[in-house]
């Protein structure tokens, strides 16, 4: 990461902390807003938050690593989330996930080397009528089968 | 305007009633004639579903197209386009309802809008191809009242979902909204309110089924300068979406109920702990809170009394364990969501060490109507020990996926076959899973059990938050147990050993079974370990996590034995136990499977039967999906 970009981001993080009164009780809300800046929470960002709130960085990392919503790896340009809710599972989500892994050559939680796609699982989008469901960016794809995966991926760029 | 008296509220209600009159009338009476501007219908309302499920299928574009087209035809002054909450029938979404003739259009796409406007709204003829077809007789059903899906339902918690515009407080007021609050603040003492809730027999809908009135009383009795009311909207059960739908479709009922609870327990601050993954519910709730503040229904001196109350939203960050009260409170304090031993209960020492009353969304949604209709009315619905209704998210291998609400005591058979329309693709029913990762699987023999808290518990499952996943003969029960345990292992907070290590060992045993490497001794170990975890884990998550394993082990013992002894998975789900092969009599050598096999496991010359090398085959099933001649089989 370029130094000036990082400085800029750190400044924004500090503003977020100030907005929440530098209150350690607001840590989760602060992390939500901070993650919004870059899509993930790099180590430097966590250090800056810890310093600002006057708590050990281990506490911040403890919270970041506890909750699945927070991530320390950058997402791809088109983040893929395969719904692993029970309704999707019984309608074949696992096979769908296998196919995404195979087509992209990455595991869950990873990003393709070109930064185009990242692959994650999520627990219930709430569109169970369309199960199995996959979200790519903001778009929801419903009633998918492994056979559809290649075509969907090919449609991006 | 600010509401400071009952009179103010009644005036708004009176004014807003006309908005709802058309919808309420068409909901009660059957309308024979199709409405249309040409035949003289003076006013028509178009309701589009604005729930997450339908929005995923572009329902917001449908609403936009309606507005644009009506404008173009110059008739937008006679027709209201209203975005409501979830109608419940998600399988057939997106749904569009036309009032006053109550026509229920299913699976509408943005391109269908033009036809609905010109044919129905203007000329008064229904668009038949978009009507629901009754699978029993193939007939079109246009009024939702006559659909099996709705006939056996009783909507109390969902009373406003799919009827009102959730972003318009006046529509909520028109449906007696905030009347319960006014009545409590102006003419009841906190103890009187609590006694009504106790009399109603309402039990917590989040899973445990603890009597709500009793919970309120505990918090009420605590002496403290500050108390809190918390709404648990961290719906973590994968496959359950009732809380989200209530918040999206009727957010004011939560705001009103929390305020009533604040009055009854002596709290002046409310907090909603909601999943960050629910952007639409968050937005609707924020709008509702803002509107309530603008109308003086939240804030200082509500209805001119000494009672002040306000609500704030806190975001969860994706941790199932945070559904547990003590873990939820730690998470709201900005910490890791780890549970602590009870006592002390949150009612004694909760958020920031202050007395805190935690209730779930659906529980709160029942409160206003209990107060307006009376506890006797509510207690007359349901079974002896479980009063009222329960909302279920019906999903899985069932024809009518959706959100349903039935009186307690309805049988599983009624839910699955009458409301749910039976099993998809004519397959055989195998099991229904209730209670999510904390519940168990019920089988054929439980189909006539009346659903309530105690019966489900006795049958080895639990009510949970209301996820109900139906499974058919193609589902492997060992894999299902593994799926849930995989979830628990990932979600275990790691604080206590039985849950952290015990569940991991359970999962390893299950993996061994699905890979065909287990012995019958492992089955014994599975059962013993499961019971130990149940007895020794710290919180509700750990204590209930072996349930999916233990209940499938009890109800589908034969299937476990088959995996272990015969290395066979009858549902053909456990990859390691499967073999793919090509029938040379059916294979014409089209080479399609060869081309698509990712493992180069298929060999054969064009126009000659192919074969699969089992050593290379990764059992992805791609060849079978591609083969047009049904030449590939799996056993």
Residue A18 lies in a domain: yes
Pairing between strand B611-612 and B602-603? Answer: antiparallel
Same domain, A34 and A10: yes
What CATH code is assigned to B176-377? 3.40.50.11540
Q: Domain B389-472 - what CATH class?
A: alpha beta
Summarize pLDDT for B169-202 with one digit per residue, the tens: 999 999 999 999 999 999 999 999 999 999 999 9
Per DSSP, the three-state class of A43 is helix
> For residue B128, is the peptide bond before it cis, meaning its omega torsion is within 30 degrees of 0?
no
Residue A71 lies in a domain: no
Same domain, A38 and A16: yes
Chain A: nearest CA to B73, how far in angstroms? 31
Same domain, A44 and A96: no
Q: Which of B107, B74, B102 is nearest to B89 (CA)?
A: B107
* ipTM of the complex as predicted: 0.91
Domain range annotation of chain B: 18-151, 176-377, 389-472, 477-566, 579-634
Searching chain B, which residue's CA lies closest to the CA of residue A71?
B317
Question: What residues of chain A lie within 8 A of the CB of B436, using their CB?
Answer: 86
Q: In which domain, by residue range, is A17 found? A: 3-66
Averages of pLDDT over runs of 10 residues in chain B (635 residues) are: 93 92 82 82 93 90 96 94 94 92 95 96 95 91 92 96 96 97 97 98 92 98 97 88 94 98 98 91 97 98 97 92 94 95 95 97 98 98 96 94 95 96 94 92 94 92 91 95 94 94 97 95 96 95 94 95 95 92 94 91 93 92 91 92
Question: What residues of chain B lie within 8 A of the CB of A28, using their CB?
Answer: 314-315, 317, 331, 334
Chain B: nearest CA to A103, how far in angstroms? 9
Residue A73 lies in a domain: no
Using CB atoms, which residue from B52, B239, B244 is nearest to A87?
B239
Residue A13 lies in a domain: yes
Question: What residues of chain A lie within 8 A of the CB of B431, using their CB?
Answer: none
Summarize pLDDT for B117-154 with one digit per residue, the tens: 999 999 999 999 999 999 888 899 999 989 999 999 99
Using CB atoms, which residue from A87, A99, A129 is nearest to B469?
A87
Whether domain B18-151 has CATH 3.40.30.10:
yes
Contact flag B469-A69 (C-beta cutoff 8 Å) = no
Residue A12 lies in a domain: yes
Q: What is the pLDDT of residue A6?
A: 78
**How is domain B579-634 classified at the architecture level of CATH?**
2-Layer Sandwich (3.30)
Contact flag B333-A25 (C-beta cutoff 8 Å) = yes
Q: What is the pLDDT of residue A130?
A: 87
Pairing between strand B580-582 and B389-396? Answer: unpaired
Contact flag A28-B314 (C-beta cutoff 8 Å) = yes
Same domain, A45 and A94: no
Domain end, chosen from A23, A42, A66, is at A66
Same domain, A90 and A138: yes
Same domain, A43 and A89: no
Number of A–B residue contacts, CB under 8 Å: 139
Hey, is the C-beta of B339 within 8 angstroms of any chain A C-beta?
no
Question: What residues of chain B lie within 8 A of the CB of A129, using their CB?
Answer: 53, 90-93, 395, 401-402
Q: What is the pLDDT of residue A2?
A: 57
Which of residues 43 through 62 in chain B touch A, CB cutoff 8 A?
A: 52-53, 56-57
Strand order, beta sheet including B103-105: B79-84, B44-49, B96-99, B103-105
Contact flag B244-A126 (C-beta cutoff 8 Å) = yes
Contact flag B53-A128 (C-beta cutoff 8 Å) = yes
Distance CA B403, CA B89 (A): 7
Contact flag B396-A127 (C-beta cutoff 8 Å) = no
Contacts of B353 (CB under 8 A, 6+ apart): none
Residue A100 lies in a domain: yes
CATH of the domain at A131: 3.40.30.10
Domain end, chosen from A26, A44, A66, is at A66
Using CB atoms, which residue from A31, A127, A145 is nearest to B56?
A127
Using CB atoms, which residue from A70, A95, A126 is nearest to B52?
A126
Phi–psi pair at B403, nearest 5 degrees:
-105, 120
Same domain, A95 and A131: yes
Do B622 and B598 contact (CB within 8 A), yes or no? yes
Provide the strand spans (E) within chain A.
78-83, 117-122, 134-136, 139-141
Chain A: nearest CA to B432, how far in angstroms? 11
- What is the separation, in whole angstroms, between the first and last Cα of chain B? 70
Per CATH, which fold does B477-566 belong to? de novo design (two linked rop proteins) (1.20.1440)
Distance CA B463, CA B310 (A): 32
SS3 letters for B487-513?
HHHHHCCCCCHHHHHHHHHHHHHHHHH
Residue A135 lies in a domain: yes
Q: How many domains does chain A have?
A: 2
Same domain, A48 and A90: no
Residue A72 lies in a domain: no
Residue stretches of chain A with pLDDT short of 70: 1-3
Distance CA B618, CA B613 (A): 10
Same domain, A105 and A134: yes
Distance CA B154, CA B407 (A): 6
Same domain, A150 and A83: yes
């Amino acid at each position: 990461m370029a130094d000036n970009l990082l400085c800029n981001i750190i400044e924004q993080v500090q503003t977020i902390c100030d907005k929440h009164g530098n209150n350690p009780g607001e840590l989760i809300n602060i992390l939500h807003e901070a993650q919004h800046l870059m899509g993930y929470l790099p180590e430097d960002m966590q250090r800056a938050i810890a310093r600002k709130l006057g708590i050990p960085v281990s506490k911040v990392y403890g919270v970041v690593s506890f909750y699945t919503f927070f991530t320390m790896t950058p997402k791809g340009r088109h983040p893929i989330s395969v719904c692993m809710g029970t309704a999707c599972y019984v309608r074949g989500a696992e096979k769908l996930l296998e196919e995404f892994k195979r087509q992209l050559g990455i595991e869950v939680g990873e990003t393709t080397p070109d930064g185009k796609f990242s692959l994650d699982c999520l627990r219930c989008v709430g569109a169970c009528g369309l199960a199995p469901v996959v979200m790519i960016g903001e778009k929801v794809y419903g009633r998918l089968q492994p056979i559809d995966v290649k075509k969907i991926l090919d449609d991006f760029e | 305007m600010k509401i400071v008296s009952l009179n103010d509220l009644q005036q708004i209600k009176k004014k807003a009633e006309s908005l709802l009159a058309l919808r309420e009338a068409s909901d009660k009476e059957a309308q024979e004639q199709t409405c249309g501007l040409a035949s003289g219908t003076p006013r028509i309302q178009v309701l589009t579903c604005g729930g997450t499920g339908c929005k995923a299928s572009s329902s917001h574009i449908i609403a936009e197209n309606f507005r644009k087209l009506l404008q173009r035809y110059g008739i937008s002054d006679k027709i209201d386009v209203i975005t409501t909450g979830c109608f419940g029938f998600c399988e057939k979404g997106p749904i569009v309802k036309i009032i006053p003739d109550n026509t229920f259009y299913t699976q509408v796409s943005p391109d269908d809008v033009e036809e609905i406007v010109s044919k129905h709204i203007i000329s008064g003829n229904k668009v038949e191809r978009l009507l629901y077809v009754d699978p029993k007789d193939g007939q079109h059903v246009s009024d939702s009242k006559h659909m099996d899906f709705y006939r056996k339902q009783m909507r109390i918690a969902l009373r406003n979902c799919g009827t009102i515009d959730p972003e318009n407080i006046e529509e909520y007021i028109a449906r007696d909204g905030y009347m319960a609050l006014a009545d409590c603040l102006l003419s009841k003492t906190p103890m009187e309110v609590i006694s009504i809730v106790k009399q109603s027999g309402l039990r917590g809908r989040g899973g445990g089924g603890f009597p709500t009135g009793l919970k309120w009383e505990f918090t009420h009795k605590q002496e403290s300068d500050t108390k809190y009311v918390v709404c648990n909207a961290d719906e973590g059960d994968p496959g359950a979406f009732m809380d989200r739908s209530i918040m999206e479709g009727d957010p004011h009922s939560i705001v009103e109920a929390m305020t009533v609870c604040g009055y009854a327990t002596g709290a002046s601050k409310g907090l909603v702990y909601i999943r960050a993954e629910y952007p639409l519910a968050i937005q609707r709730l924020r709008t509702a809170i803002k509107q309530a503040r603008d109308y003086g229904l939240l804030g200082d001196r509500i209805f001119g009394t000494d009672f002040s109350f306000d609500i704030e939203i806190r975001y969860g960050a994706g941790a199932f364990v945070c559904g547990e009260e003590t873990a939820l409170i730690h998470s709201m304090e900005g910490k890791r969501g780890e549970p602590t031993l009870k006592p002390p209960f949150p009612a004694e020492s909760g958020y920031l060490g202050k007395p805190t009353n935690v209730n779930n969304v659906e529980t709160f949604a029942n409160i206003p109507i209990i107060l307006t209709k009376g506890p006797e009315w509510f207690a007359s619905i349901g079974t002896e020990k479980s009063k009222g209704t329960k909302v279920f998210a019906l999903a899985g291998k069932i024809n009518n996926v959706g959100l349903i609400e039935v009186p307690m005591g309805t049988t599983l058979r009624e839910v699955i076959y009458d409301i749910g329309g039976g099993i998809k693709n004519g397959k055989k029913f195998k099991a229904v899973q209730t209670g999510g990762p904390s519940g168990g699987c019920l089988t054929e023999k439980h189909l006539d059990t009346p659903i309530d808290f105690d019966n489900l518990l006795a049958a080895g499952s639990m009510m949970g938050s209301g996820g109900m996943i139906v499974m058919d003969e193609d589902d492997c029960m060992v894999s299902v147990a593994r799926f849930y345990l995989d979830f628990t292992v990932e979600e275990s907070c790691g604080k206590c050993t039985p849950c952290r290590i015990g569940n991991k060992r359970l999962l390893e045993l299950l993996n061994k079974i699905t890979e065909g490497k287990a012995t019958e001794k492992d089955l014994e170990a599975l059962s013993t370990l499961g019971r130990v975890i149940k007895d020794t884990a710290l919180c509700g998550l750990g204590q209930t996590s072996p349930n999916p394993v233990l209940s499938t082990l009890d109800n589908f013992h034969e299937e476990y034995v088959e995996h272990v002894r015969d290395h066979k998975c009858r549902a053909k789900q456990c990859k390691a136990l499967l073999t793919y092969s090509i029938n040379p009599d059916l294979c014409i050598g089209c080479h399609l499977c060869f081309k698509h096999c990712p493992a180069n496991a298929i060999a054969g010359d064009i126009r000659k039967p192919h074969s699969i090398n089992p050593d290379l085959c990764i059992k992805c099933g791609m060849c079978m999906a591609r083969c047009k001649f049904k030449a590939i089989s799996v056993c």
